[in-house]
Amino acid sequence: MFEPSILSVLIYASFVQAGLRFMLNSDFGYNEIEGDVLFHPSVVSCIMHCSVYWKCTSVFFNKKTQQCNWLTSAVEHQNTQNQDWDFYEMETGEVNIALSKPATQSSTFEDPYNYGAMFATDGLVPIHQNGYQCTHTGPELTPWLSIDLQDTFKIKKVVLVNRQDEVGDRLHDVEVRAGQDGASFPRICGTFEGPGFTGQSVNIFCQQNTIGRFVRAQIVKGGPEYLSLCEMEIYT
């Protein structure tokens, strides 16, 4: 029998290896969940348990009570803003190698617990007001976000997932580059002129020689500017 801490690590490793991405579906508010629920400290824990043990593709999570449920047939839903349960659906397809990898940004706006770089690689795309749980730099010239892939890859595509709540037009004049040491980024993947729009996912298809361990997205024109992304996904 595994110790709980070891079991948690194994679940987490399986989740990362699978390269899963769950999107928050905001089309409905869910007021009531019928049937059995499990208690989990976070939505990430709920998703990991569900995807590893039950091979599910959607979960329900109640932030107030920390309850998790994935029995979609046992849900009563209403179109309302006063929802207690959030509904997350898995997107399938290519494997995002940036998932759960270390990320840094040039600065952090106000509170790292709400706007830290780690939200670029957590696999979740929240729609919270004020951009909570998305990355967010302070206002500065050429702000950037960088991800350490912890190995060298030939990169084919980078996806920049914009804010889902507002100010999507802040994403503009972005340059995506790759490098080996995290300090210099000599290989250009591609650019996005923008401006973006709220809820947009920007697909940047890389040039053939885009090889590196570190990948950086940077606003290279204008300023002072904010760089705020809900996810930065990388595909090989």
pLDDT tens figures, 83-113: 677 777 776 567 889 988 999 999 998 887 7
Domain edges within the chain:
4-91, 103-235
Of all residues in the chain, what percent are helix, strand and coil, respectively (each to 5)?
20, 35, 45
Q: Specify whether the CB–CB gap between 196 and 171 falls below 8 A.
A: yes
Domains 4-91 and 103-235 share a fold: no
- Report the alpha-carbon distance of residue 81 to residue 28 in Å, rounded: 8
Q: Which of 170, 173, 220, 221 is nearest to 197 (CA)?
A: 170
| C-alpha to C-alpha distance for 217 and 232, rounded to whole angstroms | 9
Asked whether the predicted pLDDT for residue 225 surpasses 60, the reply is yes
Superfamily name with CATH number, domain 103-235: Galactose-binding domain-like (2.60.120.260)
Q: Is the peptide bond before 195 cis (omega within 30 degrees of 0)?
A: yes
Q: For the domain with range 4-91, which CATH number is right: 1.10.287.70, 3.40.350.10, 3.50.4.10, 3.40.50.620?
A: 3.50.4.10
Tens of pLDDT, residue by residue over 166-204, are 888 999 999 999 999 989 999 999 999 989 988 888 989
Q: To 10 degrees, what angle do helices 43-53 and 4-18 make? A: 80
> Mean pLDDT in the chain?
78
Write down the residue that tokens 């617990």 correspond to. 113
Q: pLDDT category, 27, cuts 50, 70, 90?
A: low
* Better-scored residue on pLDDT, 20 or 53: 53
- Between CA 223 and CA 221 the distance in angstroms is 7
Greater confidence (209 vs 18) lies with 209
How many angstroms separate the CA atoms of 165 and 197, rounded? 10
Position 77 pLDDT exceeds 50: no
